[in-house]
Amino acid sequence: MSEALTHIKLKPSAFRQFLKRGPGALIFRSKGYRKLLMLRHFISSYYSAWTSPSQFKDVQTYCMFIGHNKSGVSMIGSLLDAHPDVILSDEADALEYVQAGFSRDQIFHILLRQSRNEARKGRVTARRLLPYSYQVHGQWQGQYRTLRVVGDSTAGSSTQALGLQPDLWEKIKYTMYGVDIKFIQVLRNPYDPISAMMARSGRTFENAIETYFSYCETLTKLRARMKPSQLFSIRYEDFVQNGEFKLTEICKFLGLQAEPDYLKACTQILHDSPETSRQWVSWDTTHIDQVAMKIQHYDFLHGYSFE
């Protein structure tokens, strides 16, 4: 693996523990606090949009991700954020702002601010058992040359929200009026995200498998509503093994040029081979076969197996 991919072993700070499991969790996860936070975001983004009315005049595309968590979305999103004509934040949950009635430019300002914050922190992905950095040195994460694509890499909760709220699709189109909406679906061997769910949150086999394939049902319905020009599907394993070619394809899908220096810098941080999470838990034959049978029901998963 390239030395450019910086692994960071993080021990939860006392403050993070306070927020996640301590008394702070009751405060920061409360409806009252969420409302205050949303109001703060509304006011700050409204002011930014009012004072910079033409900042996003060149934007042609809004990019969303759909699919499962723990499937390589943050990796691809981070590499796109390194493109000189893209701002793509990591899990800013943009649909939350769509639902709350924020304008397109307000949402773009929030995603821009989030991208800059992540770049300052080294684009560290901390929502993992082994956090690490997807920083692409010498490129454009958190900044841009001519901004043509804005997006957010939130996949799991976006898929869930679109499945639970049928009218949300129309709200997205209304909010993003004037720009194309394009979707990227990152696929990964189902045994890996299922294993990651179990290892991270203590789910049982039954619960993790049920959750994974309930998302597949939603994805089937979402894919049926999209035009071919709106959706780009990529397998995590193919991307890692053919990074330059696949990243060029994604850029073309988004209407972007992929310059050689950009491609080289991005592919340098990729693993030499796809990571696997299935060894994190002890799979038995019964559950391996259960997943294998369910895979057959979804054409976008065909070809995946435990081996």
Domain residue ranges in the chain: 58-189+228-273
Task: Let me know: does 275 contact 193? Beta carbons within 8 Å.
Answer: no
Residue 24 is predicted with a pLDDT of: 54
Q: What is the pLDDT along the chain (307 residues), one digit of tens a residue?
A: 443 333 333 344 444 444 455 555 555 567 777 789 899 999 999 999 999 999 999 999 999 999 998 899 999 999 999 999 999 999 899 999 999 999 999 999 999 999 999 999 988 875 555 667 899 999 999 999 999 999 999 999 999 999 999 899 999 999 999 999 999 999 999 999 999 999 988 899 999 999 999 999 999 999 999 999 999 999 999 999 999 999 999 999 999 999 999 999 999 999 888 889 898 999 999 999 999 999 999 999 999 999 8
Distance CA 65, CA 68 (A): 9
Maximum separation of any 2 CA atoms in the chain, in Å: 60
Angstrom distances, CA of residue 143 to CA of 6, 140, 146, 229? 21, 5, 10, 27
Report pLDDT for 150: 98
- Any idea which residue has 């699919």 for tokens? 67
Which CATH number is 58-189+228-273 given? 3.40.50
